[in-house]
Amino acid sequence: MSIAKRIAAKRAEQERRFAEVEEWGEADQPLRLYFSPVAARDIERVQRKHPNFMSNTTLASMVEMIILKCEDEAGEKAFTLEDKPILMGEPASVLAKLFNEVFSADSIEDHEKN
């Protein structure tokens, strides 16, 4: 097996992670959003619209990454680009917290320990 194929197999084994967004929850339960680790292709995709994404991360680019990565528990996309205006109306602190969790999350097991 080539090194690239081993890397791809390892990536496929990586678990999804999640973030809990209390501000978006219902009935005193936070909204749980799932995502896989951010890959180079995800960054490239966001950089097409936001060329300085890595050096000058804007709220609009954070929202683009949230839309790209976040899923519900069943693995369906949580948001579409049509949701961007709604998300852009959310508090910057909520968006930044979710974005940071997407970029630097622990595994589900590590998150549940905390």
Domain CATH code at residue 23: 3.30.2220
Residue position matching structure tokens 């519900």:
72
Q: What is the pTM of this model?
A: 0.82
Positive or negative, the CA dihedral 57, 98, 107, 42 is negative
Q: What integer best gives the mean pLDDT of the chain?
A: 87
Task: Please answer whether residues 15 and 108 qualify as being in contact, where contact means their C-beta atoms are separated by less than 8 angstroms.
Answer: yes
Residues contacting residue 53 through CB under 8 Å, at least 6 positions apart: 43, 46, 47, 61
The β-bridge relationship of strands 17-26 and 29-35 is antiparallel
**36-69 pLDDT per residue, tens:** 889 889 999 999 999 999 999 999 999 999 999 9
- Helix axis angle, 92-103 to 59-69, nearest 10°: 50
Domain assignment present for 10: no
88 lies in some domain = yes
Instruction: Return the DSSP state at 82.
Output: G
The reported pLDDT for the residue numbered 107 is 42
Q: Is residue 1 part of a domain?
A: no
**Would you state the structure tokens that stand for residue 37, as one six-digit string?**
């680790």
Asked if the structure places residue 30 within a domain, the reply is yes
Residue 89 domain flag: yes
Position 44 in a domain: yes
For residue 89, the enclosing domain spans: 16-113
Residue 30 has pLDDT above 80, yes or no: yes
Residue 39 belongs to some domain of the structure: yes
85-90: average pLDDT: 98
Number of domains composing the chain: 1
* CA 67 – CA 46 distance, rounded (Å): 10
Q: What is the pLDDT of residue 7?
A: 75
